[in-house]
Chain A
Amino acid sequence: MPTKTASPAKRNARPADGGHTPETYRRWFKDMLLMRRFEEKCGQLYTMQKFGGFCHLYIGQEAILAGMVTAMGQDDRIITGYRDHCHPLVLGETPHRVMAELYGRTTGTSKGKGGSMHYFDKGRHLFGGHGIVGGQIGLGAGIAFADKYRGGKQVTLCMMGDGAVRQGILHETFNMAMTWKLPVVFIIENNQYAMGTSVERTSNVRELYTLGESYDMPGEPVDGMRCEAVHAAIAKACAHCRAGNGPYLLEIKTYRYRGHSMSDPQKYRTKEEVEQYKQQDPIEDVRGTLLRNKWATEAELEAMDEAIRKEVEEAVKFAEESPLPEAKELWEDVYKTPDYPFIKD
């Protein structure tokens, strides 16, 4: 039976705050709050026309990245689509450089050449930030291919939206990744809409974790509003890959509170539906756990929030004060080979 996409995702059994240390909860709280505050600021700045381009916010989906980074290995690789402001942040890049990229400044992570949809961080194994829906699916398998070729133990976490799964490249990639047993976890962030198109309007197959079945790829649904569930699923999938068993598919059920991008009147869904999800907010959930267990006090969490807001303000100041690229930068980073003879007249 297809799930009704417009109803809250079914909860996995909730571990009794189990298995995770207070430090992990604190980290989840801090990471998610940084993502949330950073992007709330992005939304404001965008509305104030401080920068241009597209601006796709991750707000509502933060538990996925928070739970993912505590479960994955230091050297594991990440690749994703264009809803990617939070990926460098959660991996440890400063909000300053992430913000500067949005502003198109030389101090940005891609020197202002990639913008909102193209965050890369080679040192932290973030392979982008890709604006072509689905393009990263094959790239992710290729990253895993290289690691396997060299006999490495890394796993690639290849993220995509529920819309991206309808691209043909998914099927080609799933097939080859399974045939060659590539160490890649395919992660569908099912926020139930691709722009204004709901999952149920794009296919008869709405249980997206079953999409690997024709290739014998194991898959399972995950509650994307709970860090614990994401952490557990990623840990299991990574272990599966690292043991040489080939790919694993996770459909992480989530929700974006904001529009697809900043120019989205959201006629395709109701306010009630959005509210329903906000009631399950992952940040509030982790806050509750921290307080209930007396792992943190209200005052401590408030102070954390204050510090994050301040850091975000500083990031904005840094971005606004950073230099814009000079015109000669146009000719840099197009070819690796030095002195490429561009046609200039």
Chain B
Amino acid sequence: MRTIQYREALNEAMSEEMRRDPNVFLMGEEVAEYDGAYKVSKGMLAEFGPQRVIDTPISELGFAAIGVGAAMNGLRPIVEFMTWNFAILASDQIINHAAKMLQMSGGQFHVPIVFRGGNGSAGQLAATHSQSFEAFYANIPGLKVVSPSTPYDAKGLLKSAIRDDDPVLVMESERMYGDKGEVPDGEYLVPIGVADVKRTGTDVTIVSFNKMMKVALAAAEELQKEGIAAEVVDLRTIRPLDTATILASVRKTNRLVVVDENFPMVSVASEVAYRVQKDAFDFLDAPVLRVNQADTPLPFSTPLIDASLPNPARVIAAVKEVMYLRK
């Protein structure tokens, strides 16, 4: 199978859907003439023209609102945020408008819109540029949140998101745009709300998503050398959460570590842990542990970043703890 970059997979998803449906268009900062701040939309202006690939001023709230209004009036906008950190300015439109419209109109107006962009830490960018927002938005009924970790999932999930009749937030990663992975030539969709077991194992379950999947898989690889078979579940979608896949894995392994780049307080890990203690209590042989970004803003200096972000060593330590292997 051919391998392409994560950014190319996203580009293919958008381009295929724009060829398929004239109501789909892309707007955001630098998406057109600059080919995308992270080159995700490279070549799309040339193919689709300035009516459908639209550069905006730096007005996140304003262009998010224009997207939501356009979606209420029959279009299917893809709104790119340079990163989700900047989308905080647009959160009123996402949370108070896109997410609420269907209910407040008694089912009259739905909002088929995709908001997408890079999410999470991305090198030494300091605190305002280094946050993960899956938990923040997954808290909001009316939204769907996907957070793919591979080019294959990124393409399939973004295509599903564009076809979805509800607002879908796609959390990407500046750190993954260059990652290569296998993506078939033909068309496919990855359904929203379905997790994926990326590695099977019997001793412990590691649940993760987005670029923390790399950390989880690296830890699993190391653990294998010590004879510990970790099963790694990639959530892929955060809202709605595929609890069945998580529970099936935990019922098999009886132990769970969640690796999540979100801050620990009310994180994705918190919700996964709640669900597991609620529905698989009798299957647990140890308390659920989580490995999150530290409970501080992420600073600039490298040793401080290293001390904060999840890494394979921390995950391995957590796995050993739930297996009672640690001193």
Contact = CB atoms under 8 A, between A and B. Distances in A.
Interface stretch (A136-144, A206-214, A280-288): A136-144
Contacts, number: 152
Contacts of A168: 61
Counting chain B CB atoms within 10 Å of each CB, which of A128, A137, A147 scores highest? Answer: A128
Contact of B108 (A110, A150, A179, A335): A110
Nearest to A176: B62
Interface string A175-188: 11001000000000
Interface string B135-149: 000000110100000
Contacts of B75: 145-146, 149
A248 to B, nearest CB: 18
Interface in B84-131: 92-93, 96-97, 101-110, 112
A150 B51 CA distance: 10
A149 B25 contact: yes
A335 B168 CA distance: 11
B104 A118 contact: yes
A130 interface: yes
Interface of A is mostly: mixed
Contacts of B108: 110, 120-122
A43 interface: no
Contacts of B151: none
A142 B70 contact: yes
A139 B68 contact: yes
A334 B142 contact: yes
A341 B70 contact: no
B66 A141 contact: yes
B106 A108 contact: yes
Nearest to B242: A341
A326 interface: no
A340 interface: yes
Contacts of A335: 102, 142, 144, 166
25 contacts: A77-B73, A79-B69, A112-B106, A122-B109, A127-B69, A128-B101, A129-B104, A132-B92, A132-B97, A138-B65, A139-B65, A142-B71, A143-B73, A149-B75, A172-B57, A172-B62, A176-B66, A333-B105, A333-B107, A334-B102, A334-B142, A336-B112, A340-B240, A341-B193, A341-B240
